[in-house]
Amino acid sequence: MIEATLCFPRRTRGTESDPTEEVLLIEKRRGLGDGWYNGPGGKLEDGETPRECAVRETREEVGLEIDPETLEKAGELTFLLDGERHTFCHVYRTRSFSGEPTTTEEARPEWVPVDDVPYDQMWEDDQFWLPGVLEGETVVGEFRFEGGQPLDEAEFVGHDLEWNEHLETTDT
Ligand SMILES: Nc1ncnc2c1[nH]c(=O)n2[C@H]1C[C@H](O)[C@@H](COP(=O)(O)OP(=O)(O)OP(=O)(O)O)O1
């Protein structure tokens, strides 16, 4: 089973009387989910903690620097393919980062208003869990796909969600 991360940097723009909440998404330029929007993230490397992975992937994909201690754990998602656990994904959010997002070979970053997230250009499951995560909730989710590899060509067939439960996994 693959262990992976997703990271959602957040910021507030606009004026005090008319603020706009934004999230940094990427348009993925290769690999799983190529051409779709997602948060920065990717697979854990050997010996790496999920937090370290989220920080590294965000740096590699869009050039933002994040202090791992500022990452807030927001979710644990299990993606099943044909009944087998395919990917376990740790989801984080943060408002603390430095640098300007930059396009890389892997990703094109884009600040998007939280009210205008392009769910029709994302993994089909995102519409069920990402809105709550962007509102500050925590989620534990299981998402079922069928139809064989690769996961991003399989059919999304069902899901179960629990909100604001204690996140069980050790996350050092
Ligand atoms: N179903 C679903 N919804 C939302 N997000 C995801 C999924 N399945 C997924 O795999 N993901 C996420 C989890 C990861 O953040 C990425 C996939 O990572 P990937 O691009 O394979 O990992 P990298 O380590 O960056 O890959 P390469 O460097 O080898 O290209 O999608």
Which CATH number is 109's domain given? Answer: 3.90.79.10
The answer to the question of residue 171 being in a domain is: no
What residue's CA is closest to ligand 1, atom 2?
A: 123
Mean pLDDT of all residues in 107-128: 98
The answer to the question of residue 172 being in a domain is: no
The residue assigned the tokens 């892997």 is 106
In whole angstroms, give the CA distance from residue 41 to residue 3. Answer: 11
Q: Does ligand 1 come within 6 angstroms of the Cβ of 42?
A: yes
pTM of the model: 0.95
Mean pLDDT of all residues in 99-121: 97
The answer to the question of residue 131 being in a domain is: yes
The answer to the question of residue 168 being in a domain is: no
Task: Report CA(14)–ligand 1 centroid distance (Å).
Answer: 32
Asked whether 88 and 2 are in contact (CB, 8 A), the reply is: yes
H/E stretch holding 128 reads helix 126-134
The answer to the question of residue 169 being in a domain is: no
Q: Which domain holds residue 106?
A: 2-12+20-163
Percent of the chain with pLDDT over 90: 95
Confidence of residue 84 (pLDDT cuts 50, 70, 90): very high
Q: Is the pLDDT of residue 172 over 60?
A: no
The answer to the question of residue 112 being in a domain is: yes
Atom of ligand 1 nearest to the CA of 123: 3
- 3-state helix, strand, coil split of the chain in percent (to 5) is 20, 45, 35
From 1, 2, 43, mutation site for ligand 1 pocket: most ligand atoms within 8 A of C-beta:
43
Q: Does ligand 1 come within 6 angstroms of the Cβ of 126?
A: yes
Q: How many domains does the chain have?
A: 1
What residue's CA is closest to ligand 1, atom 18?
A: 42
The answer to the question of residue 83 being in a domain is: yes
In whole angstroms, give the CA distance from residue 26 to residue 6. Answer: 11
Q: Does ligand 1 come within 6 angstroms of the Cβ of 87?
A: yes
Q: Does ligand 1 come within 6 angstroms of the Cβ of 6?
A: yes
Neighbours of 148 (CB within 10 A): 11
65-73 long-range contacts (CB < 8 A, ≥24 apart) are 65/97, 65/98, 65/99, 66/7, 66/9, 66/94, 66/96, 66/97, 67/96, 70/94, 70/95, 70/96, 70/97, 71/7, 73/138, 73/167, 73/171
